[in-house]
Amino acid sequence: MTHVKHTNLFVSSFLLLGLTAFAAPAVSAPVDTDNDGIPDLAEKLLGTDPLIADTDGDGQNDKADAKPTELDNPIIQTGGPATIRILSAKVEDNFDPSTKKDVSDHLEIAISNDGKADLKGLKMYLTLTDDTNAKTESIYRDLSGVTIAAGKTTALHFNLDGVADWTAAQTHFRANENSMLYTTPSPKTLKLQIAANGEAPVSITFKKDAGGAELAD
């Protein structure tokens, strides 16, 4: 009886060794950092963000979205008189007044609250058009964590080091590294609309000169 048991053990070990030897080599799955079903490398080709599952902010993840870098403006165009004001908006020639040094090109929006109540419930919609081929991108962000105190000014930054949590109480948000803002040097036209809770939106149009982004050009 003991002999039979040993034989069975030997056969099992042999089969296991054989299966291991003939198993297909391990193939690692492509990296999909934001878990939206599109690998990081493919996001680069699509122009979508490898760290944001819903690049344009329309509620559909990049893989399910037929146009993952474009959406129509969802901001309600009516409301009370605006007390929010866009002081400036730019995507180049950024400067840090605290260090008195140039910083990498990024979307920077300076806004003020001209009213007597704190401003909350900010929403923004940005369109980017390539002046040479009319290609467009657009994003919508519900910046519900941002508060601008009455009579105060604040600056919002969208850069590659920013955090992709639009509802957080912060001023540095994530920008899409695969946006044509970063990937092509052609001149661009940008249109920004911002609205605060219950107020009519305010808008600004600004330009990006020809030249590589992320460079102090």
Q: How far is residue 103's CA from residue 93's CA, in Å, rounded to a whole number?
A: 8
Stretch 42-81 residues interacting with Ca ion (CB under 5 A): 48, 54, 56, 58, 60, 62, 65
Q: How far is the CB of 202 from Ca ion (least distance, A)?
A: 25
| Contact (Cβ atoms closer than 8 angstroms) between residue 192 and residue 109 | yes
- Per rule CB under 5 A, count of chain residues that contact Ca ion: 11
Note whether 118 binds Ca ion by CB under 5 A.
Answer: no
| Interacting residue with Ca ion among 15, 16, 32, 110 (CB under 5 A) | 32
At 187, which amino acid appears? P
Q: Which is nearer to Ca ion, 74 or 80 (CB)?
A: 74
**What are the φ and ψ backbone dihedral angles of 110, each rounded to 5 degrees?**
-100, 125
Stretch that binds Ca ion, among 20-28, 34-42, 104-112, 195-203 (CB under 5 A): 34-42
Tokens found for residue 140: 């919508």
Per DSSP (E only), the strands in the chain are 84-90, 95-96, 101-102, 107-113, 122-130, 136-143, 153-159, 172-174, 188-195, 202-208
* Cβ at position 46, least distance to Ca ion in Å: 8
Judged by beta carbon, residue 65 or residue 108, the one nearer Ca ion is 65
What percent helix, strand, coil does the chain show, rounded to 5?
A: 15, 30, 55
Nearest approach in angstroms of CB 94 to Ca ion is 25
Q: Residue 49 CB, nearest distance to Ca ion (Å)?
A: 5
Closer to Ca ion by CB, 86 or 128: give it.
128
> Strands 172-174 and 188-195, how do they pair?
unpaired
Among residues 52 and 148, whose Cβ is nearest to Ca ion? 52
Q: Candidates 29-37, 131-139, 142-150, 206-214 — which segment interacts with Ca ion by CB under 5 A? A: 29-37
Residue appearing with tokens 């940005």:
126
Closest by CA position to 144, among listed 196, 107, 106: 196
Residues in touch with Ca ion (CB under 5 A): 32, 34, 36, 38, 48, 54, 56, 58, 60, 62, 65
